[in-house]
């Protein structure tokens, strides 16, 4: 039986990070993963991540995955794929199924980073082909280049439902609606606004009554629910769809830890049954650690830091790292993790009905109901300036989310967030905007626009982030869409800028009637659906 100093189970963001951290300090590390590719779900994440520089903010998930693999290779982490860990037994012995054979390994330390699985909900017809998990949609389109369907209904308005809806649109699918049984949108407002301005409608307090079809889905009926979650008769709506995507949360895959005998808790805040861990991620069994979604459902960015913590702690326990340098490293990681957990979507705010931002600004209620901010509320926020002379950024960032790449994007430092990473960005009107647009491309929430109300007599320009194909060209005519996706005016494309640092977020500048400067936020090209 081969023995390793550290066995990591799961080669996703948490597992790879844990393995790298431990291997860096000299530990001999092996990682087992049941999938044929490493990276967990990172390679399906094609959107830019939130956070600050140290959290790899504004880098797309799959790029972070590539960087992790590169780093793992450099520090000689051994990753064994298509290897299913079946059990963790006494004295840290594990059994692994590889090529139809059961192999035994023994470890001094084990880090379990098995991630999470998607939840599902049942309704009439839910077993029909065409009802899929949102993760399945991501896998098909972002890994295999296949549209999961032509017309899709998304159930769930959390970040997964919102992000996958946007990705479906990028893949050229039609998203007929995003629905949620809850009365308000669950995910980031900026993610919702991104799909709302494409014209995707939100139906909140709605659920699926029935998926229709004999051999596969050809329609769906939704209905409004009352405050006891019962369908209100007469509110039914029908959509022609071939695909229904379920994005109704994730559950930790903690079975291995439970079977190993770790003390567990059923925690709704953490997403289900999770191991009870200390601050370093060590479970009740000495030398067995947990990191990432298996111990609490959070973002991939947090999972990577938790992985680093567990890796560092395992290395310390094994004698590879001195107490003092471990404490120093742990505090660095703790601070980075603490930042990510701040704000109105952090664990401390979960379930709270917040009314104001940390700055004391009233939160937009229209945003949480419709998916976009009502124009009357938009000027309440410090990043939104109107009628400035010449070109200037309009930052429609209205919620306290841990994210700050915009403040480093401006070479003249006209955007300020300050040391509190969740603060809303402020535009300094005394600093001249050069119109470079780096802030537009740096915003993972695509909430920054450049507006010039004094472009020419009667006309303004609006520069928007644009991540769709085909890319329009200067001179093309289109239709301006407002934040709700409604058509508001004719627009002309003046310029489309693409540059490597913008990483596929193109900057499209359109000429709009001057009274549309604060309305037009997207463009529909003539002839496009």
Partner 1 sequence: MNGVIDMRIEEHPILEKIEKGKLVSFELDGKVMSGYEDEPIAVALRAAGVMAHRHTSKYDKPRGIFCAIGRCTDCVMVVDGKPNVRTCVTPLKEGMKVQTQYGVSAKK
What does the binding site for partner 1 look like in residue numbers (CB under 8 A)? 34-36, 46, 60, 62, 117-118, 127-133, 135-136, 139-142, 144-148, 150, 170-172, 215-216, 467-469, 471, 504
Q: Measured between alpha carbons, how far is 10 from 115 in angstroms, rounded to an integer?
A: 7
Instruction: Report in angstroms how near the CB of residue 438 gets to partner 1 at its nearest.
Output: 18
Are 134 and 244 in contact, with CB atoms under 8 Å apart? no
Buried b (16+ CB within 10 A) or exposed e, 274-292: bbebeebbbbebebbbbbb
Longest dimension (CA), the chain: 80
- Nearer CB in complex with partner 1: 120/514: 120
Q: Helix 323-340 crosses helix 300-317 at what angle (to 10 degrees)?
A: 170
Q: What is the DSSP letter of 189?
A: H
Please count the other Cβ atoms lying within 10 Å of the Cβ belonging to residue 249. Answer: 18
Q: How many CB atoms lie within 10 A of CB 474?
A: 11
User: What gap in Å lies between CA 482 and CA 295, rounded to an integer?
Assistant: 41
Indicate the Cα dihedral angle 406, 412, 416, 419, nearest 10°. Answer: 90
Question: How far is the C-alpha of 15 from the C-alpha of 295, rounded, in Å?
Answer: 12
Query: Which residue spans within 219-328 are E strands per DSSP?
Result: 219-224, 237-239, 243-246, 250-252, 264-267, 272-275, 288-290
- The nearest distance, CB 50 to partner 1, in angstroms, is 17
Which of left, alpha, beta for 377 (phi over 0: left; psi -120 to 50: alpha)?
alpha
Cis peptide before 472 (omega within 30 of 0): no
Residue 32 Cα distances to 5, 7, 103, 106, 301, angstroms: 14, 8, 12, 13, 21
* C-alpha separations of 204 from 189, 245, 333, 365 in Å: 14, 16, 38, 13
- Least Cβ distance, residue 208 to partner 1 (angstroms): 15
CB closer to partner 1 out of 233 and 470: 470
What Å distances lie between residue 165 and 149, 222, 334, CA to CA? Answer: 12, 18, 33
């Amino acid at each position: 039986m081969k023995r390793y100093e550290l066995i990591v189970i799961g080669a996703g963001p948490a597992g790879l990070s844990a393995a790298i951290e431990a291997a860096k300090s000299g530990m001999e590390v092996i990682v087992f993963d049941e999938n044929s590719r490493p990276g967990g779900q990172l390679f399906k994440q094609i959107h830019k991540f939130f956070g600050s520089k140290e959290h790899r903010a504004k880098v797309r998930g799959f790029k972070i995955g590539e960087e992790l693999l590169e780093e793992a290779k450099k520090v000689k982490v051994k990753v064994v794929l298509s290897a299913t860990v079946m059990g963790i037994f006494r004295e840290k012995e594990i059994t692994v199924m590889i090529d139809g054979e059961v192999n035994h390994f023994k470890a001094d330390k084990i880090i379990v980073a098995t991630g999470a699985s998607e939840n599902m909900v049942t309704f009439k017809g839910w077993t029909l082909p065409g009802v899929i998990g949102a993760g399945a949609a991501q896998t098909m389109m972002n890994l295999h280049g296949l549209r999961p369907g032509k017309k899709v209904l998304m159930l769930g308005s959390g970040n997964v439902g919102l992000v996958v809806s946007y990705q479906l649109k990028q893949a050229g699918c039609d998203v007929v609606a995003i629905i949620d049984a809850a009365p308000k949108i669950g995910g980031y407002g900026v993610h919702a606004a991104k799909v709302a301005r494409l014209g995707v409608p939100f139906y909140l307090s709605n659920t699926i009554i029935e998926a229709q079809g004999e051999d596969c889905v050809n329609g769906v009926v939704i209905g409004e629910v009352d405050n006891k979650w019962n369908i209100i008769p007469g509110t039914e709506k029908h959509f022609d769809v071939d695909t229904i995507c379920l994005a109704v949360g994730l559950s930790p895959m903690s079975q291995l830890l439970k079977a190993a005998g770790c003390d567990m808790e059923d925690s709704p805040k953490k997403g289900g049954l999770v191991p009870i861990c200390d601050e370093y991620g060590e479970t009740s069994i000495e030398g067995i650690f947990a990191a990432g979604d298996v111990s609490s459902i959070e973002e991939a960015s947090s999972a990577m830091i938790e992985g680093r913590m567990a890796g560092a702690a395992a290395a310390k326990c094994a004698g590879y790292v001195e107490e003092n340098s471990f404490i120093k490293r742990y505090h660095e990681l703790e601070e980075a993790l603490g930042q990510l957990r701040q704000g109105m979507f952090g664990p401390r705010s979960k379930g709270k009905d917040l009314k104001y931002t940390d700055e004391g600004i009233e939160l937009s209620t229209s945003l949480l109901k419709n998916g976009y901010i009502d124009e009357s509320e938009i000027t309440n926020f410090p990043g939104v300036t109107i009628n400035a002379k010449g070109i200037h950024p309009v930052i429609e960032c209205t919620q306290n989310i841990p994210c700050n790449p915009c403040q480093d994007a401006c070479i003249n430092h006209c955007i300020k967030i300050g040391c509190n990473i969740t603060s809303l960005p402020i535009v300094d009107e005394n600093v001249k905007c050069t119109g470079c647009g780096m802030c537009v491309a740096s915003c993972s929430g695509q909430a920054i626009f450049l507006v010039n109300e004094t472009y020419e007599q009667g006309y303004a320009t609006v520069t928007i982030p644009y991540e769709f194909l085909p890319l329009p060209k200067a001179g093309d005519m289109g239709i301006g869409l407002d934040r709700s996706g409604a058509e508001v005016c004719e627009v002309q494309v003046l310029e489309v800028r693409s540059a490597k640092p913008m990483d596929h977020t193109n900057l499209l500048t359109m000429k709009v009637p001057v009274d549309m400067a604060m309305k037009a936020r997207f463009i529909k090209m003539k002839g496009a659906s």
